[in-house]
Amino acid sequence: MKKKNNNPSVFRQALLLGLFSTLGPFTIDMYLPAFPEIVKQFDSTASLVQFSLTACLLGLGIGQLVMGSLSDVHGRRNPLLISMAVYVVSSLACAFSPNIGLLIVFRFVQGFAASAGIVISRAIARDLYSGHELTKFFSLLLLVGNLGPLAAPVAGSGILSFTTWIGVFIALTVLGAYLWTMTKWRLPETLPPDRRKPSNFAQQVRNYGMLLRDRQFVGYMLAQGIMIAGVFAYVSGTPFIYQNIYGASPTVFALLFGSNGISLIIGSQLVGRMAHRVSEQAFLLFGLWMALLASIAVLIVAIAHGPLYALVIPLFLFVASIGITSTAAFPLAMESQAHMAGSAAALLGVIPFLLGAVVAPLVGIAGEDTAVPLGVIILATSTAAMLANFLLVRRGRGPRRTIQHEM
């Protein structure tokens, strides 16, 4: 029988797993205020520095495929321990990179290692909960995890106020060491040996094949993944848009960027608190429409060269829609995947990062002095996510399903 969310230890579980989820946002976001400084340090270009973000996103995406499968075979704890150790070493390597090329390489390794925190924490959630209880627990997990996008750029700008961008990666090294310690001493194993998959590469490939042939799983995966890819365009573009176009200081940028962490929290908690009253499917559709309308507003403001506040407001709503769609789509996709939760969580995690790796450098393709590419990209992702939900999920579904508790 699955655990219920009224357990007094639920929030402590969500706090611990949420800390591992924050490793991804901290790895992605913490060095964003330093983008202009890194360009000058290596005598590079905006697009090339953004490619270091792309490399990290590729590592986060590919790593989840590997770590998700390994956690189904070897349990959740040991792969996480090894990954946190690799994260510490790669973060130090980033800090002392002598050129932009090696920084890009080490960022890939750092992202690969950080992926374990994301995918394994979600697999552990599926080990412990199901149905609406999984939705509620996942919203708690996101409550903690979404503090990462809120705190990371603020922490990064704080570090930059008294040191260089190198200090950011030293701080990430310390964070990785802390999470290794938490894994070693505080994280129990949630996948007993009798529930693990055989160590068979061919079977792992077949598992992914079965998941990719599941029309509704793919629909939810793409709807969530394409939407999050739009957020990575926002992550990549706003350091230059806010600071170069609108003249915001690193501190003001961090506050503006971090405020959208609040919108993520609002969106995810709305779904979690109303999971028994409003269906996950209804929330998903609402979030997709919200994203589409907000992205249209962003593009209009970008073309018209509108004031900063006119850009910040629709971006706030766009990011809030990610909190809604992610929290709704994850339990819908995982509903029938208890037998291979690690692999399913890996696919749900890899698509956003792979797509994000594609769109992140495109934001700077027209230079550092226009926000139009950002508006075009997030409008395209919002439209594509809506189409994925309509064509793969809504058309392929019979009578509307509701997520039931597993007893």
* Of 24, 403, 7, 393, nearest in space to 235 by CA: 24
Angle of CA points 261, 266, 268, to nearest 5°? 95
Burial of 255 (0-12, 13-18, 19+ CB in 10 A): middle
Q: Is residue 399 part of a domain?
A: no
pLDDT for the residue numbered 182: 87
Q: Is residue 57 part of a domain?
A: yes
Instruction: Return the exposure string of 93-106: e unless at least 16 CB atoms fall within 10 Å of the residue's CB, then b.
Output: bbbebeebeebbbb
Please enumerate, as own/partner, the contacts of 403-407 that have beta carbons within 8 Å and a separation of 24 or more. Answer: 403/131, 403/132, 403/134, 403/135, 403/280, 403/331, 403/332, 403/335, 404/131, 405/2, 405/130, 405/131, 405/132, 405/133, 406/1, 406/2, 406/130, 406/131, 406/338, 407/1, 407/2
- Write the CATH number for 294: 1.20.1250.20
Which residue range(s) make up the domain with 114?
10-394
pLDDT for the residue numbered 244: 81
- Asked if residues 149 and 253 have their Cβ atoms less than 8 Å apart, the reply is no
* Of 158, 150, 157, 152, nearest in space to 319 by CA: 150
Q: Is residue 295 part of a domain?
A: yes
Torsion of CA 20, 22, 23, 25, to 10 degrees: 150
* Of 339, 329, 297, nearest in space to 315 by CA: 297
* Of 318, 404, 353, nearest in space to 221 by CA: 353
Q: Show the 3-state SS of 33-48.
A: HHHHHHHHHCCCCHHH
- Asked if residues 369 and 244 have their Cβ atoms less than 8 Å apart, the reply is yes
For the chain, give the longest Cα–Cα distance: 61
pLDDT for the residue numbered 8: 45
Report d(CA 398, CA 406) in Å as an integer.
21
Q: Is residue 405 part of a domain?
A: no
pLDDT for the residue numbered 355: 83
Any idea what DSSP says for residue 368?
S
- Asked if residues 184 and 62 have their Cβ atoms less than 8 Å apart, the reply is no
pLDDT for the residue numbered 1: 39
Give the N- to C-terminal CA distance of the chain in Å, as an integer: 5
Q: Is residue 128 part of a domain?
A: yes
pLDDT for the residue numbered 405: 38
The DSSP result for 227-290, as a single string, is HHHHHHHHHHHHHHIIIIIS---HHHHHHHHHHHHHHHHHHHHHHHHTTTTS-HHHHHHHHHHH
pLDDT for the residue numbered 157: 80
Burial of 181 (0-12, 13-18, 19+ CB in 10 A): exposed
Q: Is residue 376 part of a domain?
A: yes
Number of domains in the chain: 1
Report d(CA 345, CA 149) in Å as an integer.
21
Q: Is residue 252 part of a domain?
A: yes
pLDDT for the residue numbered 95: 92
Residues of the chain with pLDDT under 70: 1-11, 142-143, 145-146, 149-150, 199-201, 336-339, 341, 364-368, 395-407
pLDDT for the residue numbered 404: 41
Q: Is residue 384 part of a domain?
A: yes
Tokens 């409550």 belong to residue: 143
pLDDT for the residue numbered 318: 94
Burial of 205 (0-12, 13-18, 19+ CB in 10 A): exposed
Report d(CA 326, CA 146) in Å as an integer.
12
Burial of 286 (0-12, 13-18, 19+ CB in 10 A): middle
Q: Report helix angle 215-240 to 250-273, nearest 10.
A: 160
- Asked if residues 237 and 363 have their Cβ atoms less than 8 Å apart, the reply is yes
